[in-house]
Amino acid sequence: MGTRWRIRKRTFAHVLTVDPDHQAAYARAAATDQPLCVLTFRSPGDEIAGLIAGGHPFFKPGWGADVVGMVLDNGVDWDEVAELLTESYCVLAPKRLAALVDRPFELG
């Protein structure tokens, strides 16, 4: 279901349309009873609490200590999605590959 992006057989991003009748775990995590599009990704440990505390569009799926969910609705900030997916890749990528990633949004 949906589309997954992987590095070394581990998923760093997964996008899918959640149908509460078929993906009950996702629907509970996203607190929805209607179909919606969600993205799950990996986040560095020090950023997870801040993302989740901000509420919508972020949520904690309940699996994977470093997994965060995001509702993709009309208000999505695609620059933020690009940043989050880049970081997610770097969380799982070997250090050698992560070092090659251009991250213009990083400070310092």
Local structure of 7: helix, strand or coil: strand
CATH class in words for 3-98: alpha beta
pLDDT digit string (tens) for the chain, length 108 residues = 899 999 989 999 999 988 877 777 777 788 778 889 999 999 998 899 999 999 999 999 988 899 999 999 999 999 999 999 999 999 999 999 999 998 777 644
pTM of the full structure = 0.86
As a whole number of angstroms, the distance between CA 102 and CA 18 comes to 32
The single-letter code of the amino acid at 92 is L
User: What is the per-residue burial (b if ≥16 Cβ within 10 Å, else e) of 74-100?
Assistant: eeeeeeebeebbbbbbbbbbeeeebee
Q: What does DSSP assign to residue 19?
A: -
Local structure of 70: helix, strand or coil: strand
**φ, ψ (nearest 5 deg) of residue 105:** -85, -10
- Give domain limits for the chain: 3-98
